[in-house]
Amino acid sequence: MFRLLTALLLALLPVAVQAHPHVLNDVHALVEFKEGKIVSLYMGWKFDPIFSASLLKDFDKNKNNRLDPDEIRDIEREAFADTKDQGFFTYARIGDKPVTWKSATDFKVVGLKDSLMYAFRLNLPVPVDPRKDSFSFTTYEETFYIDMDFPTDNAVTLTGEGSAGCRATIAPDRGNTIFGGAVTPKRATITCE
């Protein structure tokens, strides 16, 4: 009877309580400026050690315990390119208008201690002057299979000509929840004096 009752109670728990992400991903970003305008985001997705080991195992075809250029191209084609359909899990806004990324460039896989990191550039369709237009972005994967998060308040760095006097503020994106309202992604907002 106790087992039946326990099984029944577990079945009645909300899905969000029962589910959890299978991949943990620390997100870092360089907001790149040129002539005072934001022109691109250079993203870094640092995967947890377990998923990193799985990537290495699946793509290290010559078993030399590192990823050679042709193996990185395989990862880009087989494990990264499909994220384009979800906007590379990077949702930016200029004012209230969403940004559509045409493609990602400069894809790399970088080894960091016991983890792997995807690094890639997302070029804005038009440069944004953050002194005139608001610019912000968030990263998430809607099913929460991948938990994507800015790990610290310093996970977004501004770089390039015209970035002086500007800063990134990372805060919960209260108007945007995922996974049935159980998860609130963080949004980076760029402001300038």
Tens digits of per-residue pLDDT, 161-185?
A: 999 999 999 999 988 888 888 889 9
CA-based radius of gyration for the chain: 19
pLDDT on residue 8: 34
pLDDT on residue 22: 83
Is residue 90 a part of any domain in this protein?
A: yes
**What's the domain range around 70?**
28-192
pLDDT on residue 10: 36
pLDDT on residue 19: 53
Is residue 20 a part of any domain in this protein?
A: no
| 118 within 8 A of 109, measured Cβ to Cβ | yes
Work out how many domains the chain is built from and give that number. 1
Residue spans of the chain under pLDDT 70 = 1-20
Is residue 95 a part of any domain in this protein?
A: yes
Kind and range of the H or E run holding 29: strand 23-34
Is residue 21 a part of any domain in this protein?
A: no
pLDDT on residue 18: 46
Is residue 14 a part of any domain in this protein?
A: no
Burial 106-139 (b: 16+ CB within 10 A, else e): ebebeeeeebbbbbbbbbbeeebebeeeebbbbb
